[in-house]
Amino acid sequence: MARKKSPPITEAWRGITFTRRALLVGGAQMVVGAALATRMGYISVIDNDRYVLESESNRVNLTLIPPRRGWIVDRHGKALANNRVSLRIDIIPDRLHNKEFVLGQLRTLLQLDNDTMERINRDLKAASGFQPVAIKEDMTEAEYSSILVRLPELPGIAPQRGFARNYPTGAAVGHLIGYVGAPNAEEYQQDKDPLYITPGYKIGKDGLEKYFQSMLKGKPGARRVEVTAGGKVVRDLDTQPDVQGKTVHLTIDADLQEYVARRMGRESGAAIVIDCQNGDILSFVSMPSFDPNSFSDGISSSEYAWLRADDHQPLINKATRGLYPPGSTLKPMAAIAAVEHGVHPSERHTCIGGYRLGSRFFRCLGTHGSVDMPTAIQKSCNSYFYWLAHRLGYDAIAPTARLMGLGEEFQLAGSNQRYGTIPDSAWKMKKYDQPWSASDSLNAVIGQGYVSVNPLQLAVMTARIASGRRLYPRLINREFKNEPLPFSPEALAVARHGMDLVVNGPGGTAGRSKLPLEGIAMAGKTGTAQVRGLNTGNGKAGTWKFRDHGLFVGFAPVDNPRYATAVVIEHGMGGSRAAAPVAKDFMTFLFDREKAMEALTTFEASWGGTIKERMERDYAAWKAGASSGPDAGAAP
């Protein structure tokens, strides 16, 4: 029987090769499938929480709610800085579709100018995700409503009802309270607080707003909303309310603060009132001032340029940053020093119109004849005090000046002080490498030469003379010892008596500033500080910046001092002419508000309105002039 033929070797090998390929492909598929299954298991089991969170973040939007700032209130709880409702519109970049159309609609509806549109486009480029970009703040109800009714046509627009800082008395508290503003990049880098990039959030930039930032800022809230893939809000999920900042209580009397600011009117200078019982600062005014509401709302470059261009320097806090020769306001202090060094108040000196020192003749303000110490204070006789300074030397007087608070640094909340100079022989040698001279003593004893102080120091000096204690000024309820001054009752009494005669005695330099009140008298001392030197030019006329400064320090009532004050009127041409009448009116306010308000109404009518009205009118006039000048449109 014939045998069957075996298949060709090549066909057998083909079958074997095919089988191996099938196994290889199948094995690879199994490995890939196992890997996919493992990965899916890892994602669904091990990494489940992360992907659920990412999914949730696409579905749910979390927005920080800026906290309301704490209030700043006066001694009676009256608001000096509070919050008001603010309507605003933001854009959420990730929800913004058809950018050109949306921005065009906003520009038309809200009448946005070119500068604002440039700022919005710049912020949109820098922003990312759900970080809001501010479009407009402090909108009117009409503007806000015009956006609300068109929300379906404006994807990415987020209306917000928040709070903005408000200063009820405006410019009256500008230098005292300061202002708030949006954090800058440097502040964000320093604190790394996510609130700093939240539209509408403001931090303290100056004054007490900055000093008490940690107390006033509060704690943010949060809002969770469900959104579609296109960013449309489906529903609110939950909201955690913000926690308002703490309230800061000041020693200030808000009504007095506003009155003093209004009474200063168009003058440039400062006025401070201190409670002689405990050192409480009741009024702290520097004029002209700025409206902190303008800064908090975002001051325009033109308004800021106007403030900087003003030669009366409304951006400078003159109460603590202004340094002035105190002039004759230092004479009561010099009298105390003289009594402490053995000069009897009844000793007399004959004023012949000046005092001769070698070949120089130091002039007096008049020819007063024979005067004792209280009369020399009353008539502000320079000759008498030249005689004292030459006799004692200024090294004997300077320590008393320092004990009275002149040249002293005070721990005052939010203040940025310049301390001035109370010179002596050691100071001059260290600074100029020159010995102290007798003429230096004569200049210093009448508050000229090297002597410079700020208005707060003058107010403290007056409060210490009136109370006999080393009072420390305070804006918040801090405890100070306020120990008795190391001076004899006789020395303090002669200074007070001389100051009483200045206002209430015959021929006193402030006789026209007696209080118009029955049974209440004010004591004081006028001062005239020469700007160009004692013997150069006429400080009573000519260019404003070369006129003499006018100063007044005083306390009331004379028989039981309760309030002390210092007033400096820059280039006011004399204390009796410019400063004492201002002190007279606000001292009257402390005892009889109705009578004081009658006087204020008359003054404001002659000045052309309230502070706010005058500022608005002056700014409009400046802007009209600046817009036609060569520097029109220049940045400040």
Conformation bin of residue 470: beta by default, left when phi > 0, alpha when psi is -120 to 50: beta
The per-residue pLDDT for range 432-449, each reduced to its tens digit, is 999 999 999 999 999 999
Whether 519 maps to a domain, the answer reads yes
- Tell me the mean pLDDT in the region 241-245: 92
Whether 157 maps to a domain, the answer reads no
Apex 13 CA angle, 9 and 18, nearest 5: 150
The per-residue pLDDT for range 367-403, each reduced to its tens digit, is 999 999 999 999 999 999 999 999 999 999 999 999 9
Whether 471 maps to a domain, the answer reads yes
pLDDT of residue 47: 61
Report whether the peptide linkage leading into residue 288 is cis, meaning its omega lies within 30 degrees of zero. Answer: yes
Q: Are 423 and 395 in contact (CB under 8 A)?
A: no
pLDDT of residue 344: 97
Whether 256 maps to a domain, the answer reads no
Q: Are 550 and 530 in contact (CB under 8 A)?
A: no
pLDDT-based confidence at residue 283 (cuts at 50, 70, 90):
very high
pLDDT-based confidence at residue 213 (cuts at 50, 70, 90):
very high
For residue 323, pLDDT beyond 50: yes
| Alpha carbon distance 457, 566 (integer Å) | 9
For residue 1, pLDDT beyond 80: no
Residue-range definition of the domain harbouring residue 115: 93-131
pLDDT of residue 60: 66
Most confident range (mean pLDDT) of 120-134, 207-221, 452-466 is 452-466
Whether 17 maps to a domain, the answer reads no
**Which two three-digit tokens encode residue 239?**
């909201």
Q: Give CB contacts under 8 A, 24+ apart, made by 431-440.
A: 436/394, 436/395, 438/357, 438/358, 438/390, 439/357, 439/360, 439/362, 440/394
The per-residue pLDDT for range 285-294, each reduced to its tens digit, is 999 999 999 9
Among 556, 572, 591, give the residue marking a domain's end.
Answer: 591
pLDDT of residue 129: 56
| Alpha carbon distance 34, 40 (integer Å) | 10
Whether 531 maps to a domain, the answer reads yes
Virtual torsion, Cα 255, 258, 263, 266, nearest 10 deg: 180
Among 106, 131, 156, give the residue marking a domain's end.
Answer: 131
Q: Which of 532, 530, 511, 533 is nearest to 522 (CA)?
A: 511
| Alpha carbon distance 119, 106 (integer Å) | 14
pLDDT-based confidence at residue 55 (cuts at 50, 70, 90):
low
For residue 555, pLDDT beyond 60: yes
pLDDT-based confidence at residue 5 (cuts at 50, 70, 90):
low
- Tell me the mean pLDDT in the region 270-280: 97
Whether 34 maps to a domain, the answer reads no
- Tell me the mean pLDDT in the region 587-612: 92
Q: In this predicted model, which residue has the larger pLDDT, 86 or 555?
A: 555
% of the chain beyond a pLDDT of 70:
88
CATH number, domain with residue 583: 3.40.710.10
Q: In this predicted model, which residue has the larger pLDDT, 31 or 506?
A: 506
- Tell me the mean pLDDT in the region 315-333: 96
Least confident among 39-53, 191-205, 490-504, 549-563: 39-53
Q: Tally the domains of the chain.
A: 2
For residue 614, pLDDT beyond 70: yes
CB half-sphere exposure, 163, CA atoms < 13 A: 22
pLDDT of residue 277: 95
Least confident among 20-29, 250-259, 421-430, 527-536: 527-536
Whether 399 maps to a domain, the answer reads yes
The per-residue pLDDT for range 465-487, each reduced to its tens digit, is 999 999 999 999 888 888 999 99
pLDDT of residue 540: 62
Q: Are strands 349-351 and 72-73 parallel, antiparallel or unpaired?
A: unpaired
Question: What is the Cα Rg of the chain in Å?
Answer: 37
Average model confidence (pLDDT) for the chain?
Answer: 87
- Tell me the mean pLDDT in the region 513-542: 80
Distance, C-alpha 482 to centroid of its chain:
27
Among 103, 131, 159, give the residue marking a domain's end.
Answer: 131
Q: In this predicted model, which residue has the larger pLDDT, 455 or 481?
A: 455
Q: In this predicted model, which residue has the larger pLDDT, 94 or 496?
A: 496
Q: In this predicted model, which residue has the larger pLDDT, 5 or 266?
A: 266
Helix 438-445 / helix 382-392 crossing angle, nearest 10 deg: 140
